Amino acid sequence: MLSPSRRFAVGLLTVLLAVPSARAQVRYQILLKGGHVIDPRNQVDAVMDVAVADGKIAAVRAGINPAEARTVVDVSGLYVTPGLIDAHVHLFATTGMKGAWAGDNSVLPDEFSFRTGVTTMVDAGSSGWRNFEDFRNRVIDRAATRIFAMLNIVGLGMLTDVPEQNIEDMDPKTTAAMAVKHRDVVVGIKSAHYQGPEWVSVDRAVEAGKAAGVPVMVDFGYFRAERPYYKLVTERLRPGDISTHMFRGPVPYVDGNGKLLDYLKDARARGVLFDVGHGGGSFVFRNAVPAVEQGFYPDTISTDLHTGSMNGAMMDMLTTMSKFLVMGVPLNDVVRQSTVNPANMIRHPELGHLSLGAEADIAVLRVMEGRFGYADGSRGTITGDRRLMCELTLKAGRVVWDWNARTGTDYRKMTSDYGVRDVDKIILPPKK
């Protein structure tokens, strides 16, 4: 990765090279012109141009010569951010037995990713060591979206009718071995939906995480008196481990005076990470609003995307981000929590920013203004004056979503036979 001074030097070199030639040479495939760039990792928050060459970020600065780009896209009035990373989704679709949670509730990635500016998704434990390779073959290796996965500590993952209660199938050693074998894709271990009074599902996930050298993400399942939530985040999880569904109803947030409870800050000081994982019913404004008001922001915003949440109050990544925006989290932080923070959380620091040479995963977002209603997982609502929508998405420099047809050409300016391939023949009917 280039340091800021090195980036400056490279930028300067690009300027110097551009000056002498009277007729500019085309050096960029695509130039996003005049957008407000928010790249928290590089402390960029200003109107700038972004140029892409060979699928990588080639220049980020003001005043790039449009003649140097094959395609120039006017994105003035819009925000240009790194491609969004949704760190909690479910993608092991249409498989397993009838009634199996992940099989019946998962979605396929490309149908939901690019249209919301998401270029990277992390499946949160839909599969375990017994079926991860099937999942990889069926979904991960066939998607255009970049997919990572966390392995469920339960060998069958979420593909049984009684998901994730089988202690016999929680095998840290074999889980860790599978994670290591697929190190290019597996970025963590997941414990979820556990109902019993013991810590076994959390502890075995942590054991597997230690053995494989990856973080653990915990969905705390049933909140039982025998294993209180505060102990999960202040004792059981390690620094870098993740508590997802952070704004679920039973998570204690404030005392009788409405003051944020100290254990949350203690957990954060230990290095435990807090992830939104909105889901169908794992997010209440009753918890999120006072947390945001008192500065306890999520480390990562994620959807817990599945068929239930996407047709419910969660909807998609941008709706989830918009909720934090209207609760009072500054846009720069909302973008940070949806780009560089999840990239670091899954230990893929090459993602989530627009550094020179980085993969050109880019989202171009509009902040709509008006009156918008937002619901939580229990039909609690707030209203807000802004809402994010995605105008354009690039994955590795390729346009994969273009809501306003910004990268096309007025058809009247195209050739008289455009849309006809070499193999096609246009045959007119005989004249009458």
- By C-beta, is 124 or 314 nearer to Zn ion? 124
Give φ, ψ of 15 to 5 degrees.
-60, -50
* In contact, 165 and 195? CB cutoff 8 Å: yes
Q: What's the closest the beta carbon of residue 240 comes to Zn ion, in angstroms?
A: 19
- By C-beta, is 42 or 145 nearer to Zn ion? 145
Q: What's the closest the beta carbon of residue 13 comes to Zn ion, in angstroms?
A: 46
Stretch that binds Zn ion, among 35-43, 124-132, 246-254, 363-371 (CB under 5 A): 124-132
- By C-beta, is 102 or 354 nearer to Zn ion? 102
Residues in contact with Zn ion, shown as a per-residue x/- string from 244 to 263 under the rule CB under 5 A: --------------------
Helices (H), 294-396: 307-310, 317-327, 331-336, 340-345
Separation between Cα atoms, residue 238 and residue 234, nearest integer Å? 9
Give the one residue of 164, 299, 304, 361 binding Zn ion; rule: CB under 5 A. 304
Q: What's the closest the beta carbon of residue 302 comes to Zn ion, in angstroms?
A: 9
Stretch that binds Zn ion, among 28-36, 232-240, 300-308, 405-413 (CB under 5 A): 300-308
Tally helices (H) and strands (E) across the chain.
12, 15
- By C-beta, is 86 or 304 nearer to Zn ion? 304
* In contact, 399 and 31? CB cutoff 8 Å: no
Residues in contact with Zn ion, shown as a per-residue x/- string from 396 to 415 under the rule CB under 5 A: --------------------
DSSP assigned state of 115:
G
- By C-beta, is 72 or 154 nearer to Zn ion? 154
- By C-beta, is 299 or 304 nearer to Zn ion? 304
* In contact, 147 and 139? CB cutoff 8 Å: yes
- By C-beta, is 73 or 314 nearer to Zn ion? 314
Q: How many residues bind Zn ion (CB under 5 A)?
A: 2
Of 29, 26, 3, 40, the residue nearest 396 (C-alpha): 29
Q: What's the closest the beta carbon of residue 142 comes to Zn ion, in angstroms?
A: 21
Separation between Cα atoms, residue 409 and residue 413, nearest integer Å? 7
Separation between Cα atoms, residue 113 and residue 140, nearest integer Å? 13
Q: Helix or strand or coil: residue 10? A: helix
The residues, ordered by sequence, that sit 6+ positions from 123 with a Cβ below 8 Å of its Cβ are 89, 90, 91, 92, 135, 140, 147, 148, 149, 150
Q: Helix or strand or coil: residue 405? A: coil
- By C-beta, is 64 or 124 nearer to Zn ion? 124
Q: What's the closest the beta carbon of residue 150 comes to Zn ion, in angstroms?
A: 10
Stretch that binds Zn ion, among 118-126, 361-369, 383-391, 421-429 (CB under 5 A): 118-126
Sheet holding 186-191, edge to edge: 84-89, 118-128, 146-152, 186-191, 216-218, 242-243, 273-274
Stretch that binds Zn ion, among 14-22, 178-186, 221-229, 299-307 (CB under 5 A): 299-307
- By C-beta, is 317 or 392 nearer to Zn ion? 317
* In contact, 221 and 201? CB cutoff 8 Å: yes
Of 269, 327, 326, 322, the residue nearest 299 (C-alpha): 269
- By C-beta, is 164 or 304 nearer to Zn ion? 304
Q: What's the closest the beta carbon of residue 23 comes to Zn ion, in angstroms?
A: 54
Residues 370-399 that bind Zn ion (CB under 5 A): none
Question: In the complex, which residue's CB is closest to Zn ion?
Answer: 304
Stretch that binds Zn ion, among 145-153, 155-163, 169-177, 301-309 (CB under 5 A): 301-309
Q: What's the closest the beta carbon of residue 89 comes to Zn ion, in angstroms?
A: 8
Stretch that binds Zn ion, among 57-65, 129-137, 296-304, 353-361 (CB under 5 A): 296-304
Of 149, 171, 169, the residue nearest 160 (C-alpha): 169
| Residue numbers at the binding site for Zn ion (CB under 5 A) | 124, 304
